[in-house]
Structure 1
Amino acid sequence: MIILYWLLIVLMVVGIIGALVPGIPGASLILVSIFVWGAIDGFTQGVWIALATALAVLLLSLGIDFVATYWGGKQAGASNWGQIGAFVGLTLGFFGLLPALPFGGPLLGILIGPLLGAIIGEFLYRRDLEFEPRIKLAAQAGVGIVVGNLVGRLIQGVLAIASVIVFIFTTWPPGVT
């Protein structure tokens, strides 16, 4: 039982990393790990508390993704075109449809895709401006969206860590019910 407990904690640490790095499951991996522990060890009060916390973190993480990216873009002056471009860039980057790079693959695409998509979307929207101010505003909007996304990832990472800490504190020592 103790080995399984520690393996699930290792899986939760991967979930914490996933909350920070796009393309790796984050809060959902932590939630599944807690559920597995509850199914094996019995759904004690401590497991229910950890499960409720992990579910709340998962729901918050979904909202934070959208709100932080939107907020970062709006702070940098991005239009809806920039926001849509970032989403399209993320999708294309995730599926590896950006030009193939010699290193990084889809992970690099997930990081670069939103930036390029936001810049292209904003550049297309700002057709009324001359080239130089147009490209400057497009780049500013792209950077704002990416910064918002990074801030959201950091918040998700902190929430994921808190979820794992709640699990450890409510279920320690393992195997004792």
Structure 2
Amino acid sequence: MQIIYWLLLALMIVGVIGAVVPAIPGSSLILIGIIIWGIVSSSFAAIKIPLIVTVIVLLLSIGVDFSASYLGARQAGASKWGQIGAIVGLIVGFLGLLPTLPFGGPLLGILLGPLLGAIIGEFIFRRDLWLATKAGVGIVVGSLIGNLIQGLLAVAAVVVFVVTTWPQVFGT
């Protein structure tokens, strides 16, 4: 039982990493780990609080993701063109269609794609490279801040799970 517990904690840690790093599932992995623990321990009553907290964290993460990018874009004066460009850049970077770099791999593409896409989208709309660059940086900074907030929420969900279930597993 303890081995399964440690494996599920490892899955949840990957979920915490995924909450911060784009393209890796985040809070959903934590939720899956908690549900698996409820099935394995056959005690859904013991995971009621962590389950509720994790569902709330998952919903908050979705809201934070959209609002942080939007607020970063708005603060930098980005238009819809910049936001669309950032989304297209994320997809292109995720699929690895950016030129291959000697370091970083797809993760670097996921980080550079939205920046380049936002700058290109803003430049098409405004024809001013300085404003386009400012808007692109604003979108990326907003996204990064949102990812950090999602990471903190994911850590909180895992801590609630551990605090709630530790006595059940280790009897202390």
TM-score, structure 1 normalization: 0.92
Alignment-derived partner of residue 140 in structure 1: 134
**Divergent runs of 4+, >4 A:** none
Separation of aligned partners in 2, 1:101 and 1:31: 35
Do the aligned partners of 1:5 and 1:174 also contact (CA within 8 Å) in 2? no
Q: Deviations over 1:88-128 (max 9, x none)?
A: 0001111111122222222111100000000000000003x
**Pair 1:170-2:164 in alignment:** yes
Cα distance between partner residues in 1 of 2:75 and 2:126: 17
How many angstroms does 1:44 deviate by? 3.3
More off after superposition, 112-121 vs 22-31: 22-31
Percent identity of the aligned residues? Answer: 63
Output the CA distance in 2 between the equivalents of 1:176 and 1:47: 15
Superposition TM-score, scaled by structure 2 size: 0.94
Which residue does 1:24 correspond to in 2? 24
Alpha carbons 1:118, 1:141 under 8 Å: kept: yes
Aligned residue in 1 for 2:6: 6
Give distance in 1, aligned partners of 2:28 and 2:43. Answer: 18
Q: Secondary structure at the match of 1:46?
A: coil
Counterpart contact for 1:75–1:144, Cα < 8 Å: yes
Structure 2 letter corresponding to 1:51 = L
Find the aligned partners of 2:116 and 2:170 in 1 and give their Cα distance: 52
Task: Give the whole-Å Cα distance in 1 for the aligned partners of 2:126 and 2:39.
Answer: 55
2:152 is aligned to 158
Correspondences of 1:1-177 after superposition (within 5 Å): 1-127=1-127, 134-175=128-169
For the residues of structure 2 that align with 1:97 and 1:157, how far apart are their CA atoms?
27
Deviates more, 1:45-54 or 1:87-96: 45-54
Separation in structure 1 between the aligned mates of residue 55 and residue 91 of structure 2, nearest angstrom: 25
Q: Which runs of 5+ in 1 are unaligned?
A: 128-133
Amino acid at match of 1:147: V
Letter in 2 for 1:13: I
Q: Secondary structure at the match of 2:98?
A: coil
The CA RMSD over aligned residues, in Å, is 1.4
The answer for unaligned runs of 5 or more in structure 2 is none
Larger mean CA deviation between 93-102 and 112-121 belongs to: 93-102
Q: Secondary structure at the match of 2:167?
A: coil
